[in-house]
Amino acid sequence: MHLRTILAIARKDAIDILLNKSMLTVLILPIIFALLFLFMGKLIGGHAANILVYNPGQSPVVQVLSTAFDKVHITEANSPADITAAFGPNGSSKDSPYDAGLIVPADFEHELQAGDHPQLGLYLNGNNLNTQNITLIQAALTSYARQVTNPQAPLALSTVVINPPPTTNFGDLLSTFYGAVALLTSFILGTSLMPGLLIEEKERKTLRMLMVTPASFTDVILGKLFVVLGYQLLLSLIALAIVGGFTGLVPLVLLYTLLGSCLSLAIGLLLGATFQTAGTAGAIGGMLSFIYILPAVFSGPLGALFGNNPIIQVMKVFPTYYIADGVYNAMQNQGTFGGHLLDLGIVLGSTLLLLALTTWILRRQSSVAASI
């Protein structure tokens, strides 16, 4: 094993991949998927409520209104007239760009405490709010006013919650979902590139040329693993960056990215060792894409909807399920140390097992090749 020859092979393959149209397509696939998820996120879960506020006294009541939405974008109005103009006189405008408007008197809290019954102007857009939302917003604002008038709560509320919902809001959950799916689908790259690179050397007889140079067969394999791992990590990180996946426990997300990349390469190497033509390996590699996509879909927020469905149990057969599970937990800053250790252990163990199996196949092939 020589570092010089390993790097030489990696360098050659790095150039060759960029000149190969089909490999180049595989290379940009994670970016296309990530952009697609980003677009879907914007379309479905990424909508931030637009609130127009006139709040000259910087009253905290605006925060109360904000909590009614997952994400808010607050615009400060210069005068109450700006808000009435945005929603029309008496709410006559039908196409306001705002979801809510609030006119807060300059000394709102003082007037409340003085018992002056100050008027709070609330404007709501029914296009983005249902009746329940509107009732809850009104109740929240009234409750806030009562709390300012009399800080002593009129009751001692004892609450017991079973199956507590996630602390993250729906928007964050979707963002995590897209992040994990983009990362998992990016792993298709290693499984698709690796067999092609290895089989091409066999098909074009260039491997025979390499065997009469200072390179050994191990150098050839390591050189290819090195370059595909480089591309895999680079593209996975770009995909994560596009969908905003660097959230939660970022070092753990990066560790899952590294181990997922290694697993993807190990599967690709096994395909390259097993199949003799690039076409067959490519077709099988394409079919194996589901082991990345399905666990990503069924182990996250969507998986929670299925409960203990048999599909979830089937997904647990694939080591990629544990990458997805770990990535979701890491991104949401959740999961126990033991849980992460189990996920990482299963992924690492599967990778080593696949590499051992591939080594056995390659050794067997080389001994057969030498005897014919």
In the complex, the residues that contact another protein under the rule CB under 8 A are 4-5, 7-9, 11-12, 15-16, 19-20, 204-206, 208-215, 370-372
In this complex, which beta carbon is closest to another protein, that of residue 215 or of residue 297?
Answer: 215
In this complex, which beta carbon is closest to another protein, that of residue 65 or of residue 194?
Answer: 194
The sign of the CA dihedral 141, 142, 146, 152 is negative
In this complex, which beta carbon is closest to another protein, that of residue 210 or of residue 267?
Answer: 210
Q: Rounded to the nearest 5 degrees, what angle is found at the Cα of 127, between the Cα atoms of 123 and 58?
A: 30
For the bound state, the minimum distance from the C-beta of residue 370 to another protein, rounded and expressed in Å, comes to 6
In this complex, which beta carbon is closest to another protein, that of residue 113 or of residue 206?
Answer: 206
Contacts of 335 (CB under 8 A, 6+ apart): 326, 329
Pick left, alpha or beta for residue 166 (phi over 0 → left; psi -120 to 50 → alpha; otherwise beta).
Answer: beta
For the bound state, the minimum distance from the C-beta of residue 14 to another protein, rounded and expressed in Å, comes to 11
First to last CA, the chain: 26
For the bound state, the minimum distance from the C-beta of residue 231 to another protein, rounded and expressed in Å, comes to 16
C-alpha–C-alpha distance, residues 370 and 372, integer Å:
6
Q: Please compute, for residue 203, the number of CA atoms within 13 A of its CA located in the half-sphere on the CB side.
A: 15
Fill in the DSSP letter of residue 51: E
Angle between helices 217-242 and 188-203 in degrees, nearest 10: 150
For the bound state, the minimum distance from the C-beta of residue 284 to another protein, rounded and expressed in Å, comes to 24
In this complex, which beta carbon is closest to another protein, that of residue 139 or of residue 369?
Answer: 369
Q: Note whether 90 and 65 are within 8 A (CB).
A: no
In this complex, which beta carbon is closest to another protein, that of residue 5 or of residue 329?
Answer: 5
Q: What is the CB neighbour count within 10 angstroms for residue 217?
A: 14
For the bound state, the minimum distance from the C-beta of residue 5 to another protein, rounded and expressed in Å, comes to 6
Fill in the DSSP letter of residue 122: E
For the bound state, the minimum distance from the C-beta of residue 278 to another protein, rounded and expressed in Å, comes to 14
Q: Note whether 210 and 12 are within 8 A (CB).
A: no
For the bound state, the minimum distance from the C-beta of residue 24 to another protein, rounded and expressed in Å, comes to 11
In this complex, which beta carbon is closest to another protein, that of residue 199 or of residue 331?
Answer: 199
C-alpha–C-alpha distance, residues 69 and 50, integer Å:
10
C-alpha–C-alpha distance, residues 362 and 201, integer Å:
14
C-alpha–C-alpha distance, residues 320 and 326, integer Å:
10
Q: Please compute, for residue 196, the number of CA atoms within 13 A of its CA located in the half-sphere on the CB side.
A: 22
In this complex, which beta carbon is closest to another protein, that of residue 131 or of residue 371?
Answer: 371
For the bound state, the minimum distance from the C-beta of residue 266 to another protein, rounded and expressed in Å, comes to 26
Q: Note whether 228 and 22 are within 8 A (CB).
A: no
For the bound state, the minimum distance from the C-beta of residue 189 to another protein, rounded and expressed in Å, comes to 19
In this complex, which beta carbon is closest to another protein, that of residue 179 or of residue 282?
Answer: 282
